[in-house]
Structure 1
């Protein structure tokens, strides 16, 4: 359900692209340093956005380092790291562990059972350190599981579960910025959940898996309605972002919120268009 909050690379300046990659590599490095290769495997783009946002907001002292890795064994890569990178690494691993726990409970996936066993001790230490965030993740996923068992088509309710999860992760510390960060995380979480449901819908129908968009899919104007909902979610998120006094890396943040989050949606539309073209050609040839 992650990987939707990324940059739109063609619209980003070269210097900003390098900086974004340095934040991403910094998160990867911290995950490896704190939790080993198993922790590194939980890396997501979405938490990179959280790092850049919170670093800009709190003006955290950031250090620049250079390291080689398995992906870049020859040339050292620039990495940006600070205390928020460590927090994001913890949340990244905690999310992965709860997700694996959920997969094991619901689908009895052996791979999930083995993976959660590897991450178990590390995740429990993080949960003890961040009880508020840990509780929010657990309760949100439990409520989402209830929605799935009830086969709920209430999109606001189901997406809201993931929204509540994300809002807690965005609140690094309780202060004057908490309200805006919560609303940002809430609506971004809803956007991510709905986008994931939209992308997986046809496959879920074929496999007879749960998807809250199934009922809407059979209605007239399905595509327009989905886009409208997604636009509303990211618009609410962006409104809250613009209330924050973010100056450093604001171009990267705006690139992600106004363009990057639509990368997968645009790819889906292109795929659908390409899928329809052969049918048109077939009719002409007949």
Structure 2
């Protein structure tokens, strides 16, 4: 479900691209230090966005270093990390644990069982440290499972489940910014869930899996309706983003929210249009 909240590389300045990569690599480094190499494998771009938002909002200077890693063994590369990298790394593990557990419960995937067993101890520590966030993850995923069981077709209801999870994760601490951060994460979470469902629909139909878009997929204006829904969600997300005093990393954050989140969608749409054109020839 993750991997949509990333940069639009072609529209980003070179210096900002390397800075973004440095935060991403810093998160990778933090995952390894706190949760081992297996934890490092759960790395997502989405949590890098969270780090950038919190770093900018709370004006925390990151630590900086050039280091080698398994992915880049030949030469040292720039890394940036801070307390929000640790926060994002822990929440990344919490989400990964539940994802593995669901894979085992729903599809009896051995990889899901192995992942859940490996991360169980780490998750318990994270749940003790961040009870508010982890409780919301558990509640949201339970609601999502119930939606899937009853084959929920209401897009707003089913996307609320993941929206509420992301909303809570964006609240690092309960202060004057918590409402705006929660709303920002909420709309972003709804967007991620629905974009992922839209992306997975052909495969879900083939496999007989649940997907909230199945009921409307046959409508003539299906793709236009989906795009309109996604645009409205990102408009709400951007509205909350604009309320926050985010100056540091502003160009990167702006790039992610206004163009980066659409990269995979536009790539898929372009591919479908080319396929349709080839069929019509």
Q: Give the TM-score normalised by structure 2.
A: 0.99
Q: Using the alignment, how far apart are the partners of 2:154 and 2:242 within structure 1? A: 29
Is the contact between residue 102 and residue 141 of structure 1 (CA under 8 Å) also seen in structure 2? no
Report the RMSD for the aligned CA atoms in angstroms: 0.7
Q: Using the alignment, how far apart are the partners of 1:60 and 1:177 within structure 2? A: 15
DSSP-derived class of the 1:153 partner: coil
The residue number in structure 2 matching 1:257 is 257
Corresponding residue pairs, total: 281
Q: Using the alignment, how far apart are the partners of 1:277 and 1:27 within structure 2? A: 42
The residue number in structure 2 matching 1:118 is 118
The residue number in structure 1 matching 2:198 is 198
Choose 241-250 or 268-277, whichever is displaced more.
268-277
Alignment of 1:1-286 (within 5 A): 1-281=1-281
How far did residue 219 of structure 1 move? 1.6
* Structure 2 unaligned spans of 5+: none
Q: Which runs of 4+ in 1 moved over 3 A?
A: none
TM-superposition CA deviations, 1:123-153 (whole Å, max 9, x none): 1111111111111111111110000010110
* Structure 1 unaligned spans of 5+: 282-286
How far did residue 218 of structure 1 move? 1.5
Q: Using the alignment, how far apart are the partners of 2:69 and 2:255 within structure 1? A: 27
Q: Using the alignment, how far apart are the partners of 1:276 and 1:232 within structure 2? A: 27
The residue number in structure 2 matching 1:284 is none
TM-superposition CA deviations, 1:161-195 (whole Å, max 9, x none): 00000001000000000010000000000000000
Q: Using the alignment, how far apart are the partners of 2:174 and 2:39 within structure 1? A: 27
TM-superposition CA deviations, 1:178-226 (whole Å, max 9, x none): 0100000000000000000110111111111100001111123111110
